[in-house]
Structure 1
Amino acid sequence: MEQQLPLFAAALAPADQQTIREALTLLECQLREPGASFTSSNAVRDWLRLHLAPLEREALSVLWLDNQHRLIAHDTLFLGTINTITVHPREVVKAGLKHNAAACVMAHNHPSGEAEPSKADRLITERLKQTLELVDIRLLDHLVVGGMEIVSFAERGWI
């Protein structure tokens, strides 16, 4: 199956698109390897930067994980505007159950390039964590991508 390219890659030359496709495939394969934890890997951050950093609108992606925290699937569940996004917890839960996920890592971008989470980011993360717990899906982290910088809620003790 051919790796889906991030939205920004459509403007690149075919050779550059192929390079990005190969990089994403390698990162994703590494994350599916037995014993490769998705919660502390630099590959996760690299993968998210490739997917989210160049977007011109906010997007919320969820990385669905099995019990060993290996990647099952990834979904971009919501697209917003240049500075806001509406997230519906019901749709997040629905996607997690569809993939039979045991855990997840959420990520969204800030097109401004500033990775510092907003108060709204913190509030929706807490709401999503509580909602996912009702169906036994652990929210391991929420990462905010702003350019090349990534802020982790888990590293800050917010999850």
Structure 2
Amino acid sequence: MVVQKRWAKIAQRPHRNSGAQSHGGAMSIRSWPAAERPRERLLELGAASLSDAELLAIFLRTGVAGKSAVDLARHLLNQFDGLRPLLDADLSAFTSQLGLGSAKFAQLQAVMEMARRHMAESLRRESALENPTQVRSYLKALLRHEPHEVFGCLFLDNKHRVMTFEILFRGTINASYVHPRQVVKRAMAHNAASLILCHNHPSGITTPSRSDIDLTKRLKEALLLVDVHVLDHVIVGDGEPLSMVERGLM
């Protein structure tokens, strides 16, 4: 609510035994009671009721010798130290693991891209001012997996609906590297009425640096010269993205 008002002013189910073991290895999930099977549980209770391992098992579909799909999912989550590192893994790291190949990698990338596009479509229909949490979730989905710092802009129309997102700079993000002229140029190219600045901190720590604050001030002043309003500067890291407007830094 705080972010919404200020923008307007600017213009894991617990670990379960995987079932009895046969001499050849883990019992097939098909042999489990229906109420225990991940797919049936999802259909009955919804995806949110499943653990990370169960969701991943549905994606994997099958296990490997000696491991059911759920066993394999648990193994992979342990190897990657969690779901997010697995989802963020590049092709080489992903396919180096048991039961994962390039086809699975391609499927996973397609699923994640569809999720990002779903969020983008929702933002194109409604005012970003009305959905600050959704905006930040969308920016996190776009930037959190980036291994290096990137700086981008979410361009909005005169009704504050999202028109498009662009990454404008890659590398060290500071006031000397990000050129206001380029940001102004892209805003004018899209005929944007306002925009939201964003960049990521690969370290995961979202606390803005002095350079982040200075850069925001410079860009805000430059864009006002062409009547484009900067609504916020969002920093993406671990956990909830940081809003500089919410922190009173703009």
TM-score range, shorter chain: 0.7 to 0.9
Retained in 2: the 8 A contact 1:49–1:148? no
- Decide which of 116, 124, 127 is 1:24's aligned counterpart: 116
Give structure 1 stretches of 5+ with no counterpart: 1-7
Indicate how the Cα distance of structure 1 residues 66 and 9 shifts in structure 2: closer, same or farther if over 3 A, else same: farther
CA-to-aligned-CA distance 1:64-110 (integer Å, 9 cap, x gap):
001110011111000014xx452000000000000000000010000
Higher share of residues assigned strand = 1
**Which of 1 and 2 has greater Rg?**
2
Do structure 1's residue 128 and structure 2's residue 128 form an aligned pair?
no
Secondary structure at 1:121's aligned position in 2? helix
Give, as a single letter, the amino acid of the residue that structure 2 aligns with 1:59: V
Structure 2 counterpart of 1:59: 150
Indicate how the Cα distance of structure 1 residues 19 and 9 shifts in structure 2: closer, same or farther if over 3 A, else same: farther
CA-to-aligned-CA distance 1:86-139 (integer Å, 9 cap, x gap):
200000000000000000001000011000000000001001000000000000
- Decide which of 179, 183, 189 is 1:88's aligned counterpart: 179
Q: Which moved more, 1:36-45 or 1:8-17?
A: 8-17
User: 1:147: how far off?
Assistant: 2.0
Considering Cα pairs closer than 8 Å and 6+ residues apart, tell me whether 1 or 2 has the greater RCO. 1
Distance 2:231 2:162 in 1: 13
- Decide which of 128, 135, 146 is 1:38's aligned counterpart: 128
Do structure 1's residue 143 and structure 2's residue 234 form an aligned pair?
yes
Give, as a single letter, the amino acid of the residue that structure 2 aligns with 1:19: V
User: 1:50: how far off?
Assistant: 1.3
TM-score of the pair, normalised by structure 2: 0.56
Structure 2 counterpart of 1:3: none
Give, as a single letter, the amino acid of the residue that structure 2 aligns with 1:22: M
User: 1:14: how far off?
Assistant: 1.4
Q: How many residues of Structure 1 are paired with residues of Structure 2 in the alignment?
A: 148
Indicate how the Cα distance of structure 1 residues 9 and 42 shifts in structure 2: closer, same or farther if over 3 A, else same: farther
Retained in 2: the 8 A contact 1:31–1:71? yes
Identity %: 40
Retained in 2: the 8 A contact 1:96–1:137? yes
RMSD between aligned alpha carbons?
1.5
Q: Which moved more, 1:72-81 or 1:116-125?
A: 72-81
Q: Which runs of 4+ in 1 moved over 3 A?
A: none
User: 1:10: how far off?
Assistant: 5.7
Distance 1:19 1:42 in 2: 22
Structure 2 counterpart of 1:73: 164
